[in-house]
Structure formats: structure tokens, C-alpha cells
A and B are shown apart, each in its own frame.
Chain A
């Protein structure tokens, strides 16, 4: 390796030769044919390892000078020389993963634990995964080679190693390590932690998952500071220079990312979600460090793994002991952080929170950087004149750029980030503390061993060179980044031409990525088609699901309210509720419904980048602010605050995470721990993914005019679909690999047996097939991004399975071949997106590192479609910067690095394509002969074949909709009519026989089924009428008559087939269901349950010209009840009812009853009962009436009614009962025991009133004489006092005789003239 570089740097071999050498793998062709340089020939076997070597070389060289931002180690394998194992070029430091793998917090600790035991004591701080990057990473740096040797071959990613190595100056070389003041205590603590913990055991199964969950929730952020740092592979520079560094460059506190300059800023940065980062806690422990002494390379893998056995115990303890240990200091620290953040915010955001100028996001950061010099190191001024090793640097830059351009590096953005780090390096540490470095350098003889990057000037020179080479990529970055680059003084100083190009690029760029509205929680709407009773096997299931839906949203609201509060724990607060819910779901087999709801809600809440956790974004556009309105400004402000605070630079390769609302869904799945639910959810996700993946998103035949409009829509649709797919795929990946997730990298033995086991099972979703197909169909721009999301969640074993190995291979192939350039096959940004996501995937911790550099890219899987298929997407410019940055928020790190200030983020709130639920179709067409049918089908296909695809889609769409509408129409008309008739029939029958309701129902339905067949005829009519209309409207005007008519016919036929197929299969069931539902409703409504003959009369209307100004029923009810209360209940002496007032009340009652508008059955029934009660009280003279002095006229009238005003009231009542009530009045209640008992107490004379009432009832035909008679007779059976009984009998006979003697009266009042006295006398 070094030899090649040596040749290059000694100028013995030109760069182009090296590139050529690199491009052609060994064994491809004879070297001579490719004009491989002679000197490189003997080295051809090393070729594969050269790129990693080069990358590592650059990192090593620059490690001292880079102080800004997290380190940018590539996930490069070690050189062969250091491999102890088959696959082992890479050192995957266990703890290294911790920073990357936020998903697996426990694993972090585990790995740390294991590593610790194998060498020096670890810091206490490291045992909690939540520590800041510096503390976490420090230990790793000390034993990189050890790690490499032992961990090789397992999916560990050496996240931190590089940075650590960097900080420890070539420590990684294993020859010696300089102690880092910060690192040592950290290591020690960790050890302590591990040992103390190992004793305490703990339940694990759920914890394991839980840890997955926790990683992000609080702790993660702090971890993420160091995200992206990973240890790089071993470099054979071991023996060269390893200058002792007194500074831990990775300590963010001492060497904060640019813009965060000093310790205090750093501390102020943690977002509020960060769990306490014991920044200060570790300080007291700092001591001059002692470096680890073991030679990592020689460390045996066995010892490395043996220490891993205590994993679980350690994990458990880690949570408990350590946190408690630190808690006190944490509290303080939290306070400190709060204050500092406050301070920072005041500086950073303008007071209004709105006036942030979108164009100058750097402003606040200026404020901060202004204070930098005072705080710590001044930024070194880079001077082109001071550059040394120019020639070599140029060579390196060219070589490096070629590697980037040829996709030979695993992640081009990681390299760009690195380059920008160089560009923005401050270099203070080197210039001030680097003397020893230089000395060492001078001592080294090899060119490759020399320090080419010892000064800021050199770094910047190199960076600008590389940027120049990579101009094309850079010019495709979003505008804000371009602006910062264009404004960069160093670029201007080192390369005026690049500066000019960048300025031009910036000025012409339209690639503005803006902040969109964050979406708040919204519910999934209830859709009767999928959610109503008919979709459930039983009432119980339906009702339980009803409850589950409400509980689900309750949980969601609770989470939304509280999850950011300190101490809130998902599992503790919601766990049991969720499991109870799951138990209910299991009991009623409602999982499928719930899975659907869950998935829909997931998409609704998380498809936007907020839920997708963009930590990057532009300041909001003014129009967005306007949209927000003043109400939401505070919300926006909070949001900004969050982003401002958490914007510490995380590096361009954050591990997969579940940011924002996704957290809820992930935690829900974990807490539920339901096998059934997971299965249903996976099924549901797979279905949706396949469906979305197959959507035809573009229209390839835009005529000129509509092209722009169509493209815009297409882009929008594409991005909505893409984002949804990525979200769904991430959750699918999460679920699929969840059972296999281990905290720790399994040992080789375990891995082998696991691979053997799992190789036998089929994948849940055949991503390989989909991937191949997408490549073939040129739809990889849609498919690869979601497959990447899916794969990012693999467990440690999965990548080694035959199946996934193939998938990774194929992806790698795609990556290698997708050289960035504008070409016809694929637009630049499409490619850039694919490269960005793939590059990211290759850095994901559980993806084995050797994959990228050791996998032979075979050509077998690569079958690019030669003919552009109709659904090809790759060639369509679908990706813009907005989508690129939404999918890869980590690209924003580049800008953060440049500006180190961001406010806000991007979000997207697109509508989702509505899915049309197809109506189940069964062929209804008259059965023609099979051959004929087949021919018809062929003709139809042929017809469509030469027509634009839109025609087919239109026809199918119309058919689908018309068919569906037809069914709805039939339901609303024919079925509704039938149901109405059934209702009448049932009402009649129910009255006749109170017998068997079920039988009754069956009978009625059977009568209707006959009529139900009408549905088919009507359905055909409907389709025939509506289909053509719709087709005509939707097709272009210019469509030829013949085509149109054919299209219409096909649409009608398809629609008819669909609709009638459904109807014929379901109409009887539908009728029965509807009738049954109506019947049940009927039985439930009081008063309607057993309707009388005139039930229909009930629904009468107001009298013509009614103004609806009658008193409300409720008011009248109240007033009558008041009267009753006075009559019955305890009352004051003085409390009387004014007679005239009562009369008016009855008048109002009459009005109220006439106006039907506000009347409902219950009101009317209540009125009926109350008035009967009132009548009973009146006839027994229980109502304390007061007679006001009346006008002569009215009093004379009153005289007419036989002196007693009560007669008038009774007469009014009778008339109201007769004329105004629409419901039968229960007048028979007059004869209830209770009411008659009132009578039994009254004096003789009041029988007059009762008798009057009896006659009245008969006269007004409210009761038949015979009915009255029987009522009276049945009264005689009751145990009355004998006197009363006698009177009762007498009354009965009087009534009868009078009534029979007389012909019906016209004026019932005359009845009163004959009193019982008179008769008996």
C-alpha cells in the first residue's frame, strides 16, 4: 500500500497511472493491456486495499489539524497486513458502534465493556451510552488495532475509532499511544462500571428491545455528537510517527465544532432531549493519561470475546448503578446546560423568533464566532504562500478526487465532509502544540510517512484542489451551502477560479431547500368501507375495535404531551396500557384492523421529514411564516429552538434512528411485544410497500403544453411516494430484524451457526427481486432509497446470509457503476440521491465493513433494461435538492460545518395518494364461449396497446369508480326503498304478534329478495348512463369518435361487471343487513317500538304557514311539570296555580304540539304523560287553582261551564289530546290505581269532574265506551275501601246509562249538566 503511495509521492508514477491501475481489478485483464504502469504491476494484488489505505492515510495525516466537527472516518477495512482473520481488515471497535448505533444503546455499553476488559480501564462515563462524544470516543482510540484484530469479520462498525485515533495521534498504529488526558479517566470509569454492573442481573428480552428504544430518546442525542466518528482501519504507518498529543482533539469541550468554539458553547449545545451528559463529571477524573500498553494487533480474539460474556449483566447495571452514581452531578449539569442554552438562544435567534432572515442564517453564528477569539484559539489565517509539498498535495488531491469520482470510496459525502473539514480547519492545535509532530516527521524517511498536512495552509490547499475536482457535485448542493462556499474566504484566496465558479453556481442556483410546516398529530379518518360493522366478524369485535381506536389515540396524545418531559418513560407509562390493548385485540382477532390503523397513522404522522427527523434545514420562508399565523409562531419558535440547540455537527453518517414521531411507533411495537401484531403489521407494510413501489408515477407522453404542469405533479407525487416507502420500509426492516437483534456482535461461531440456520428461511419481502426488477425497469431511483432504509436495520447476522449478501452485492454494483455525470440514462440528482443513501448504508454499523472493499463486484445481477420501459423513472429528473436533503438530512452536515448555524428544518406535508378500494368483482357477463371470451380479452388488450397508457388508466379508473358508485347508488335508492317498506311491514307485524322477531325479520326479508334482483337491472342502467359520461369528460376532446366509443363501451362493461358482480353476490345479504339494522333501531327507539296504526301520522308536518315560533317542547314540559310539582309535592301555603295562566299554558301546549319542528317522540310522549297526569290531578281537585277576577265576559263564560273553572281546563285538555297530539295519549292512565286513589280521597262533588272526563274521552273518541267500561270494571277488582267501591260501581252504571241514552253530543260540555247527584236522586 504504502509502496504505491510512495511511488506516487516520489513522482515515480503519475497519478493517471495509479488511477488506471485502480480501475482495473486484478485478474480482469492482463495488466499490459490496460497499460498498467510497470512499477505498479507487482503491486496489483494490493490494489483492492489501496483505496482504504489512501483514505486512512489522509485521515492520519490530517488528524491533528482537524478540530472542527466530528471526525470523518470512512468505514474502511484494515490493510491485509494487519488482518488476523479471514474477513478481518476492519477493526470494529465495539464501543465504536455506540456512537453510530443509536438504535442500540445497550450494545454500546456492551461493546465497551468487552473492549474494556481486554485493555485498559475505561472511564466511568463511558458506561452510560449517553455520554458526549468525547468521553465515549476516547477509550476507543486507545486500542484500535486490538479491536481490529479481534472484531474483524463481524458487523461492528468502528465508529469512533478513527476520531479517537486521530486524537491520539497514530495511536491506532498500535506502536504506542499517547495518553489523552480526557480519555484515560473515561476508560477507567467504564471499567468500573462494567464490573460493578456485572453482578446485577436483569430481565432481558424486553430490555433488549427497550434499549433499542432508549438509545434515541434521550441519550441518543448526546451520543450522536460523536455519531459519524468511527475508527478507521489500521494503517501501516504504525512505526512512523506518533507524536504524543497533549490534547484530545475529540473532546468537544476543548475542541468544539466550528462555531461552537469553546467549552461553554459546547455545553450549551445539547438539545433538550439529551440526557444529562456528564461533561463536568468526568473532569475531576482527568489525570495525565496513561496509554494502553498492550499491542492491539497481537491481542487474541479470544480474549476479546471472552470478556463479552457478561454483557447482559453489564447492560443492566449500566443503567442502574451508573446513572445513580452520576445523578447528582447530572442535575447540576442539566441546570448549567439550561442556562447556557438560554444564553445561546438569546444570541442566536432574534427576539421575535420570526424575523430570522432566511437568507442569512449565518448571522447568529457570527455573533457567536465573534466571541471565539476571546474564548479560545484564533482561527489560523490560511495563506497560499505558506503551502509546502505542493506537488505531492496536488498528486494526492488528484488521486483522491479520482477515487471519489469513480465511486471507489464507500461514501462520497463522507469524503466531501472530510474535505470541508480540511477547508475549515483551524489548525491551532497543530501550530501551537505540534512541534513534536514536526520533529517526528522530519525523522521519518518515507515520503508517505511525511506529514504533508502539517499546516492549515496545506490542508486548505489540498481541500480547495479536491473541491475544484468535485465541482460538479458541489454545484448540485443546495443553495445555502453554495452560498457559504461562495463566500468562503479561503477558497477565494486559494483558487479565485473556483471561487468564481462557485459564485456563479450560487447565483444561478434555484435549489432552495425550505422549511415546511411541521405536521401535528392528525387522526386517520374513519372510512365506513373498511371500518364499519360489516368489516368485523361480530358486534363484540366491532365494539372492541371502536375502543381500541380511542385508546390508541389517547396513548398518542399522552405521548405527544409528555414524552419530552424529563423522567417520562414510554414503557413505564404506556407499556401496560398497550399490552392490555393487545390482549383485547388478540381476543377478538382485530389485529388486521389495528395494523391498518397503525400503519395509516404512521404514514400520516411520519412521512414528513420532521417525523423523519431532519436535523437540518433552512430558515423558514416568509410565506411559510405567513401561513403559520400568529398562533403558531410560538410553536415555530420552539421548533427552531430545538433545532438550533441540537444542531451540533454529527457528521454525515448518523446511524439509523427513529426520530420525532417515529419514536412513538417504534416504542409502541416494542412495548406491545405482540407476535400477532408484528406479523399483521409486517404483512400490511409489505403489501403497502409493494403497492407503492409498483405505482406508475410518470406519464411519458406529455405534449408540450402540459409538460411542465405534469412534471411538477409527478415530482410531487414521486416524493410523497418515495418518502412513504422509506418510512414503511424502515419499519418493516425494524420488525423483520427485531427478533435477531443482538446487543452485541455475535462471535464467529455463533455467526456461522446462525447463518446456517437462517439461510433456510425465506425473507418476508423479496427485496432482491424487487431490486433486480427495479434496475431492469429503470426504477431504481424509487426502489433503492427504500431498500436502503430497510437494510439499514439489519441485525449483525443478516448481511452474511446468502440472500442478503446478494442484495448487498447488487447494491454495491449499482454504487460502483453509477458514476456521476449528466447522461440520458439517469439525471444527476437522481444519481446523487442513490449514491448518498447507498454511501450512508455502507456506513451503517451492522453492515459489515469488509463489504465495500472486499466484495467482488460481479456483473451477474446487473441487467439494465435496454429499452426504456413505460414506467422507467431513472431517466426522469424527479429528485430535486428538497427531496435529496429530505431523504439525506445528513447532507446538511456539510452546510452545518460551513456555517455551524442552522435554524429550523424542513418538513413536508404532502397529501397522500388516495387508494381506490376496488369493489370485489365476479364475472357476471353472460357466459359466452371460452374462446370468444378470450378473443374479446385479446381485442381489448390490443385496443389499449397502441393507445396512450393514460387511456387505459382512464378507462380502468372510470370503470372502477362507476362500478363502485353504482353499488352505492343502488344502496341509497333501491335498497333504501326496500328497507323503508320493510320497516312499515315490520311495524304492522310487530304489533300483531309479539312473537319471534328473528322469524319475522326473515319473513319480511324473503319478500324483499325478489325485488332485490331489480338491483342488477338498475345497476346496468346506471353504468350505462354514467360510464360514457365520465369517459368523455376525462379523455381529451380530440379523441377520435371510434376510440372514444370503444373506450366508453369497455368502461361500461367493466363497470357493469364489477357492480353487478358485487350486487348479485351481495344484494340479499345487504338487504338483510340493512333491514335488520333498521329493525333494531326501531325496537330501541322508545315509543316507536310498538307503534300504533297511526304511527305514520306521527311524521306529520307543521300546519301550512307555520312560523315555528311556538314555545319549545322542553319549555312547556318544564312548565307543566312545575304545575304537577306544586300539586303533588310539598308547597308553600301561598303557592297556587293561577287558573288563567294554566289555561294559557294549555294554549301554548297546543301551539307547541302543532308546530312539529322541534318536536321529537320523547318530548311528545312526555307531554302526553304529563297532561294525563295533570288531568288526573284536576279531576281529583288536587291542583290549587286560584281564580283571578276576570273580565265580565270571561267570567260569564266560566259560569257557563258550571261554575267550576276546571271543566274548561279539562275540555281544553281533551281537545289538545284529540287534535294536537300526533302520538297516542295514554289516557288509560287516568284509570291507574294511583290516579283513582286521588279520587278516592275527594269529596262527592268531584265525581262530577271525573264523569265529565269519562264522557269527554268517549265523545272525543279518545277511548271507546267499551274500553272505559272495562277499565272501570277492572278498577273494581282492586282493594278499595268499601264505600269507595260502591261509589265506583255506581259511577260506572251512571256513565253507561247516560252514555247509552244519549246520542253523541256535539258539545261535550253539556255533559256536565247531568251530575251524578241528579241521576242518583
Chain B
């Protein structure tokens, strides 16, 4: 679903004033009934992530870390089963998982007397039994990787159905490509009059900041290597962002229907 910049701004503004809770999501859906649910959810979680990023530094000052750690210790002392981290995170408007990380880091630092490695922290965080309390919080998270994977699978299905032969990311990586889109078309096709060589699937909403970041980190890099391509934002995007068509980055919110293929005399069909 494509949103205009104005529509998106309205939603973003609404989200700026609420806590990232399920309740807020419900309200959001009530307020913007005409938008698709999945789009709203996607925007919702992205906005929340942005907020986290904005305040990230604030929560990582030595002072803040110390405060959180002490509060956590006190809380756990009182009641081992209480969702201390969660409450703490909610109170200071921070992601519980990140709060858990802060506390864990601090904890390990004390124990090991050294800065713990990222790998260790990550492995511990991945195994929730290690984390003293509820990482599964009230926050609305999308299982990003799962969704991403599903849409890639869906896209693959559609490509197969359309008889478009492609090379998938894992194959490309195996060949030593340094940057790889989800799919490279072995034979380029034209979508809405634009030739494309690759397709990238994004199971999120294309808002300005994420799109800019993607352009910088991925889409232009793909263009630099493989030429023009197509990005599908399955949860929609701000339509004003689709401004690089001429140059070779096409945005869609669904699998394109207007596909023209190269017709060789030997083509099968």
C-alpha cells in the first residue's frame, strides 16, 4: 500500500505521542481504519525502533547504566520473579531487550572485570534463560527475520510461476559477490517500462529514513554492480520516495504485473 508523504506524517505524528504498547497499536488501528493493518503494524514497529535509536545514547551514559543496574539489583533482591527489567524499561521509555543488554553487560563486566565480548552478550541474550527476566515484553515486535524470510519465499514462488530464472542470494554469495540482492534475474526483464536486473524484497514499510539507509547500504550498491533493479516493500512505502525510476531503482508494494520479457526465437513458451 502506497502512502503519500502527508498520510505517513500523520501516522508518524500520532505514534510520536504514544507508548509502544499493544494498546497503542490498537488505538492506531482504530484511528486509521482505511490503512492496511499490516502496514500500520510495520510503521508502528519502525517508528518505535527509531525512537529507541534516538534515545539510545541517552541510556548508554555511564551514569544511566549504573542507575539501571542498581535498580535492577534492588528489584531482584526484593522479588526474584518480578519483571524488574521490563518495568524499568517501560518507565524510562526504553526497549526491554536493550535494557537487558545494558544490565547484562554491566553484570558481566563486574564479574569478569573486563568488557565482555559482543558475541558472548549476543549468545546470552539469545538464550533467554540466561536473562533474569522478561525480555518478552509488552512491546510490539515484529519477528523481522521470519517475515523477511516468508516474503522472500513468496517472491521466489512468484518468480518461478512467471518463469523468470534467477540467482538467489545464497548462490550469489557462494560465488563471491560482495553485495547481493535477494534475487538477480539471469535474463533481465522490464517492469513498467524499466529494465531491471535484480529484485530486493523488503518485508517492511518504506519510510524515508529506512529507505535512505537502504539506498545507501544496499540499493545503490546493487545498482553499482548489477545495474537497475526493483525493490518490493511488501508493507508499502511513501510514494514520493519512488523517484529514482529513471536512474534505475524502482519501488513497488507488490509483485509487478506489468512485466515484459525478452523474446528470443528460441524462448520456451
Contacts and interface: CB of A to CB of B under 8 A. Distances in A.
A261 to B, nearest CB: 38
Nearest to A1124: B136
Interface in B196-225: 220-221, 223-225
Interface stretch (B57-65, B175-183, B251-259, B260-268): B175-183
Given A1114-B146, A1117-B143, A1237 B80 contact: yes
A1173 B176 CA distance: 40
A553 B193 contact: no
Contact of A1163 (B126, B146, B179): B146
Interface in A1105-1144: 1112-1114, 1117-1118, 1121-1122, 1124-1125, 1128-1130, 1132
B145 A526 contact: no
Contacts of A1130: 90, 138
Contacts of B132: 1233-1234
Of the candidates B22, B133, B224, the one having the most CB atoms from chain A within 10 angstroms of its own CB is B224
Contacts, number: 140
A531 interface: yes
A1060 B165 CA distance: 31
A603 B85 CA distance: 60
Given A525-B226, A631-B193, A1114-B142, A1160 B149 contact: yes
A1160 B169 CA distance: 15
B81 A1234 contact: yes
B149 A1162 contact: yes
Of the candidates A546, A1118, A1129, the one having the most CB atoms from chain B within 10 angstroms of its own CB is A1129
Contact of A1160 (B129, B139, B146, B246): B146
A1221 interface: no
Of the candidates A533, A542, A1112, A1124, the one having the most CB atoms from chain B within 10 angstroms of its own CB is A1112
B86 A1128 contact: yes
Give the interface SS of chain A, mostly helix, strand, loop or mixed: helix
A1118 B145 CA distance: 12
Of the candidates B22, B132, B193, B227, the one having the most CB atoms from chain A within 10 angstroms of its own CB is B22
Contacts of B145: 1160, 1162-1163
A1129 B137 contact: yes
A188 B131 CA distance: 84
A550 B216 CA distance: 9
Contacts of B146: 1112-1114, 1117, 1160, 1162-1163, 1166
A1087 to B, nearest CB: 9
A1077 B176 CA distance: 10
A631 B226 CA distance: 23
Interface band, chain B: 35 or more
Contact of A523 (B90, B177, B227): B227
Interface residues of A, number: 59
A1238 B80 CA distance: 9
A1128 B176 contact: no
A1241 B81 CA distance: 8
B153 interface: yes
Contact of B177 (A526, A1081, A1170): A526
Contacts of A1024: none
B22 A526 contact: no
Nearest to A552: B224
Contacts of A1077: 174
Contacts of A522: 227
A522 B145 CA distance: 32
A1077 B173 CA distance: 10
B131 A1234 contact: yes
Given A525-B227, A1173-B128, A546 B86 contact: no
B147 interface: yes
B137 A549 contact: no
A1116 to B, nearest CB: 9
A1240 B81 contact: yes
Contacts of A1158: 149-150, 153-154
Contacts of A532: 175-178
A1226 interface: yes
B75 interface: no
A557 interface: yes
A717 interface: no
A1127 to B, nearest CB: 9
B112 interface: no
Contact of B80 (A553, A631, A1229, A1233): A1233
B224 A523 contact: yes
A758 interface: no
B127 interface: yes
A1166 B80 CA distance: 25
B153 A1157 contact: yes
A766 interface: no
B177 A1128 contact: no
Contact of A525 (B128, B138, B225): B225
Given A550-B224, A553-B220, A1234-B132, A1125 B138 contact: yes
A86 B267 CA distance: 73
Interface in B62-80: 80
A763 interface: no
A1238 B139 CA distance: 21
Contact of B176 (A521, A533, A631, A1162): A533
A802 interface: no
A496 interface: no
A285 B174 CA distance: 72
A528 B177 contact: yes
A526 B226 contact: yes
A1287 interface: no
Interface string A1285-1300: 0000000000000000
A1169 interface: yes
Contacts of B227: 522-523, 525
A68 B173 CA distance: 63
Interface in B153-175: 153-154, 173-175
A926 interface: no
B116 interface: no
Given A546-B179, A1160-B149, A1241-B81, A629 B226 contact: no
A1238 B81 contact: yes
A553 B131 CA distance: 45
A1112 B153 CA distance: 11
A1114 B41 CA distance: 13
Contacts of A1234: 81, 128-129, 131-134
Nearest to B170: A1081
A1308 to B, nearest CB: 24
Nearest to B83: A1128
Of the candidates A523, A525, A1118, the one having the most CB atoms from chain B within 10 angstroms of its own CB is A523
A1128 B136 contact: yes
Interface string A537-577: 00000110110011011100100000000000000000000
Nearest to A543: B178
Contacts of B56: none
A891 to B, nearest CB: 33
B220 A1237 contact: no
B153 to A, nearest CB: 5
B50 interface: no
B247 interface: yes
Contacts of B134: 1128-1129, 1234
Interface of A: 520-523, 525-526, 528, 531-534, 542-543, 545-546, 549-550, 552-554, 557, 629, 631, 1077, 1081, 1086, 1112-1114, 1117-1118, 1121-1122, 1124-1125, 1128-1130, 1132, 1157-1158, 1160, 1162-1163, 1166, 1169-1170, 1173, 1226, 1228-1229, 1232-1235, 1237-1238, 1240-1241
Given A523-B226, A1233-B80, 20 more contacts: A525-B226, A525-B227, A526-B177, A542-B178, A543-B178, A546-B178, A549-B224, A554-B220, A631-B193, A1114-B143, A1125-B136, A1125-B139, A1130-B138, A1132-B23, A1160-B145, A1162-B146, A1163-B150, A1229-B129, A1232-B129, A1238-B81
10 contacts: A532-B178, A553-B220, A1128-B86, A1128-B134, A1129-B86, A1162-B146, A1166-B143, A1170-B136, A1237-B81, A1241-B81
